[in-house]
Structures are given as C-alpha cells and as structure tokens.
Amino acid sequence: MGERQRLTAQITGRVQGVGCRWWIRSRAAELNLTGWVMNDADERQVAVVAEGDPDDLDELERQLWLGPGGARVERVDAARGPASGEYLRFEIGRR
C-alpha cells in the first residue's frame, strides 16, 4: 500500500442526468476512497476529487472512462497530487 494521493478529474461527455454521480460514489466507496463528486456548471462535465491508495485511484480513473450505462464519456482530464486527508467519506455534491 503506497502513500495516499489525491486524484482530481473532470469527466466530459454525456455524464449529467444518467446517474453518473451516484455511480462514481459507489465505485469510490467500493475502493475505500474519500472525497466528492458533483455536476459542473457546464452540463457536459462532472468533477471528482478522490483520495486514497494510488492503486485504488488508478482503478477509479480507469472506471471513469467507462461511466455508467447511459453515459458517453468523451474525455477524462486527471491529475494527481498529495492527499489532504480532509475527507471522511466519499460524498455527492460537496467540495
């Protein structure tokens, strides 16, 4: 298990109105990640901040490219950095 990291991602495509936030929250919870997911002001984007083990973040990032049924992911812009440790769980709609 590596040192905790932070993944910040912007998912673009048909990702709002298709259950994407709930789906991402479920995937993150399965991977024991903390952070948040929320719709962006741009109706074609969802923003994610997740913290946890680097291998689990790799898996989440891979799954972000898939999205839930009904979604059409066109792009995932992701960056990594050190974890802040400020999140207790993974939530929807919180920064």
In the residue annotation, 39 being an active-site residue is answered as yes
Q: Counting beta carbons within 10 angstroms of the beta carbon of residue 75, is it exposed (0 to 12), middle (13 to 18) or buried (19 or more)?
A: exposed
| Catalytic residue from among 21, 32, 62, 94 | 21
In the residue annotation, 32 being an active-site residue is answered as no
| Catalytic residue from among 4, 14, 39, 80 | 39
- Torsion-angle region of 15 (φ positive above 0: left; ψ -120 to 50: alpha; else: beta): alpha
- Catalytic positions are 21, 39
